[in-house]
Structure formats: structure tokens, C-alpha cells
Amino acid sequence: MNRSKNLKELELEQNWDVIIIGGGASGLGIAVDSANRGHKTLLLEKYDFAKGTSSRSTKLVHGGVRYLQNGDISLVIEALRERGIMRKNAPHLVRDLSFVIPSYDWWSSPFYGIGLKVYDMMAGKLGLGASTILSKEETLQYLPNVKEDGLRGGVIYHDGQFDDARMAISLALTANKEGATLLNYFEVTGLEKENNNMLSGVHVTDKINGSSHIIKGKVIINATGVFSDEVIRMDNPDAKLMIRPSQGVHLVIDKSFLQGDHAIMVPHTTDGRVLFAVPWNGQVVVGTTDTPIDNALEEPIPLEEEINFILENASTYMTRKPRRKDVKSIFAGLRPLAANEDKKESTKEVSRHHKIIVSTNGLVSVLGGKWTTYRKMAEDTVNTIQMVGGLPDRKCNTESLAIFGNEFNTDFNNPYHFYGTESEKVYALDSKKGNYSLSDKIFISKNQVIWAIREEMAVTLEDILARRTRCLFLDAYETEKIALKVVKIMSKEIKKDDLWIRDELKKFNVILKKYQL
């Protein structure tokens, strides 16, 4: 996947079948499906792929126990089915993770045990494992650091875990392989219309070289998540707001706070939603919150009350209580909840079902949804655009389409595992010195930096440290120490001077500080 090559493809194609605005989970999923069905597909992303919400999740591929509690049965069934498909199509990225719900009341274990048996039943043949009620001794064996005082037992159940940003990059590579053209740092600044006011293309600016273009297309898809209203109002300035953003914050702490390989799921917190403490890449991700936000930002800012909420509720269940000084990284994402008419409904009660709306001028907008159901969102969207754009009616094949790098029997302890079938190629770039980690605390090698530039369309230092590798999310303080090493490798690869190095470090440090508490 090469940006220069894709720019040439853009110049050669005069009229696209499908133009997708947005390079997050929904946009990338649509690009895969559309290209696989044989439509000439172009995806444009204002920043980097998965720069927004799609790299800031709890790292779970799940049906959603919370949605089962809320009675949103259809969403849970759909998500559980998609969880199984995702696990099958991307086994190098998605794996089984067991969750333990500790019980401190006599009724908790049987109550949650029954609910999770229903959860298992909904998953059917695509289930990852059966839930089981645990004794106190078994619960302590699974969760050595859980608070023992008052503990009666627990329940263990199974869901999926993945690396969200790496999944996004793999989807981009899949779409590219299927024939789609993808461009990051390509901003859509306006919509082109014919005399009858129907959409016919987009106005764009290449944020790398500053050039502007008008690109023609039969169907324009708005897949910009929390920023969907901005594109909708490019089409119709008087359109009502369709998105209710909700902020979710996560703290990353040392793995010693959660000894073992099992996650904790806390079913009741002080605000009524669930809380997770999840082992991930040698650290523990704790979250999340659900805070209504009025203004969507590219870099959401965690609120003090959100930080305190997570620390306080996590401390209730852990013998070693995390404090602010223990936080290695903090990140916030915005959920693109599709707005309901009921303005009084809290964001945690809003369904995560997706919606597809078509404006009178032909703009197709994908609203809501969640990472786990990205494939179904894409299928429904492409089915819609085939009618809207008069495209050939072709069936969806993505239920059985392998995601780029698909490799079974993955060793998840291998730091290159998420490359799948490409891991040996990454290793071979420089087999003598290129695979040593640049850090003692988080793994990142010279070969990964070079591969990200050559094969994964990484443009900036942030692209590499935040999304091609997950250094910024795992330990923002250690990332600050290795940033100079990484940018020097980049400058040598793309032939940039010291001025570029200084400028890149300056820009990255502005982002970096937002991940430090």
C-alpha cells in the first residue's frame, strides 16, 4: 500500500463508482466490501487511518454484556455473530479472552451466570467458550489481585480481544488488495453537485502537498463517525444534527495490577455502566466512561471526573489500588451515537445499532455502530449504494473474506504477530540489527518503522508511534524517550533533513502530552 502509487491511480481515474469519506472502522470496512464487489472505490481520510475513535476503543470484539442488560437483544445477537466472523477472518488479530465477574453478594453468581448462559446461547456455533460459575478459590486463582474481603465467588465468560488500530491498517491493506484506492491526509472540503442538485463528486485538498482537486463519483458515502454532521451540512446546511457524541476514557497501567491473563468485568459502577480491566500487550487497559460531549475534537480531552471515576471504581476491586502516578498512558475516544428523538435519554442508554440515511441529494451517511459490527455496517451500506447509485447488484462476500495477513495458529507472544503472513518479510528487512527493540519497556524495532513507511502508508511520527505500533497508547512516558530514535530512522528512510526532524518532533510532542496524566 503506497501513497504515491495511489495518487497516480487518482489521476488516471476520471469517475469513481464509490467515494468514501472517512478512514475509520466503518469507512475501511465499506472500502473492502465495495472493492470486493467490483465497484471502483476511492477512500479519502482527512488525517491517518483510524486516527479517531477507531484506535481508541477498549480493544474488545464483543457482543456487549451491557447491551444485554439494557435489553437490546437484536444488537447483541448481531454483534456476537460478527464477533465470530471477525475471529475467523482475522485470527492473527482477534483472539479469545476470558472475563471474570467477581461476586460479593450471594445472588450475584447465579444471576450473572444465567444471563451469560443466554449470552452463550445467542452466540451459537460462533461462540468462543462456555461461561461457568466459579467458587471463591477458583476466582482467586483466575484473579490473584482481586479484593478477597467479602468475595463469594464469580462467573467466567468468553469474549474477543483485538488491536483496533492494527485491525484498521489490515482492513486498509485488504481493501487495497481488492482494488480500492486509499489516501490518508486527503481532506474533503466540499461536495460537488450537478444542476439538479444531486451529488456528483467531492472537493479535496492533499494535506501533504497542498494541491486541490475535484473528484467525480457516482455515490458519495459519509463515514466520518463523530464528524458526520459536518459532512451532512456540506450537503444541506439546514440539516438537523444526527450524532450525539459520547466520550470514553481509558487508563493504561502496569500488568502487575492484574496478575494473570484474565480480564475483570465490573457489572455495576457508580454511574451504572460496566467497567473493564483488560490485559493488553503486556499492560492493563482500564475503562471506560460514558460522558456526553457537545463538541467533537480530533484529540478528545479526558475530564478529571472521568479519571477519578475509573481509578475509584477499579480500586474497589483490586488489592493493589492504582493511583494517578501509576498511569502510563491515558486516551479518550468519542462514540458516534446515532441521535434519537428522546433528548433526555442518557448516552449509555442510546443503542449502538447503526443507521444508514440517504439525503434528497444522494449523500449516503453511516451513523452509529461499533467496531465489532463494522463488517455488517459495510454490507448494509454497500447494499444501499448499489440501489442509490445504480451500480450493478452484486452480493456481499465478506463473511468469508480473509483479512490481509490472515494466519491461523498465531503466537500472540511474538511482537510481530499482527503482521500475520507478512511477519517474516518484516523480520527480513534487516535480520541482523533491525529487529532489536528501540526500548526496554515496549517493543518497537527499526524494521517496523521502515515497514510502516514502505508498506503501510505511514506519513508522520505519530502514525508510527500511535497506530502502526501502539507505543503511545502503552506508555506515553517511554514513547517520549524513544521518539528521537524513531524519527531519525524515518528521516533516513524518506530522505528528510534536521529541520524536518525538529518540526516532526515538535508536532508529535503536542499530541504526546495529551496522553500523559
329 forms bridges with which residues in the sheet? 252
Q: Phi first, then psi: give them for residue 55, nearest 5 degrees.
A: -110, 5
More confident residue, 268 or 96: 96
Q: Phi first, then psi: give them for residue 402, nearest 5 degrees.
A: -70, 135
Residue 406: left (phi > 0), alpha (psi -120 to 50), or beta? beta
Give CATH for domain 3-53+166-241+348-396. 3.50.50.60
pLDDT of residue 349: 47
pLDDT of residue 417: 96
- For residues 148-157, give the mean pLDDT: 93
Query: What kind and span of H or E run contains 469?
Result: none
More confident residue, 55 or 115: 55
Residue 312 has pLDDT above 60, yes or no: yes
Q: 66: pLDDT confidence band, cut at 50, 70 and 90? A: low
pTM recorded for the entire structure: 0.94
Percent of the chain scoring above 70 in pLDDT: 96
Percent of the chain scoring above 90 in pLDDT: 82
Residue 231 exposure: Cα atoms within 13 Å on the Cβ side? 32
- For residues 97-105, give the mean pLDDT: 93
CATH 3.50.50.60 correct for 84-161+244-340: no
* 218-238 tens-digit pLDDT: 999 999 999 999 999 999 999
Distance of alpha carbon 431 from the chain centroid: 31
Rounded distance, CA 60 to CA 327, Å?
20
Class of domain 429-515: mainly alpha
CB 205 within 8 Å of CB 212 = yes
pLDDT of residue 337: 87
Rounded distance, CA 114 to CA 416, Å?
39
List the domain boundaries for the chain: 3-53+166-241+348-396, 84-161+244-340, 429-515
Residue 348 has pLDDT above 60, yes or no: no
pLDDT of residue 339: 74
Q: CA end-to-end span of the chain, whole Å?
A: 35
Residue 147 has pLDDT above 70, yes or no: yes
Residue 347 has pLDDT above 60, yes or no: no
pLDDT of residue 274: 83
Rounded distance, CA 70 to CA 87, Å?
25
* 349-401 tens-digit pLDDT: 455 688 999 999 999 999 999 999 999 999 999 999 999 999 999 999 999 99
Residue 344 has pLDDT above 70, yes or no: no
More confident residue, 130 or 67: 130
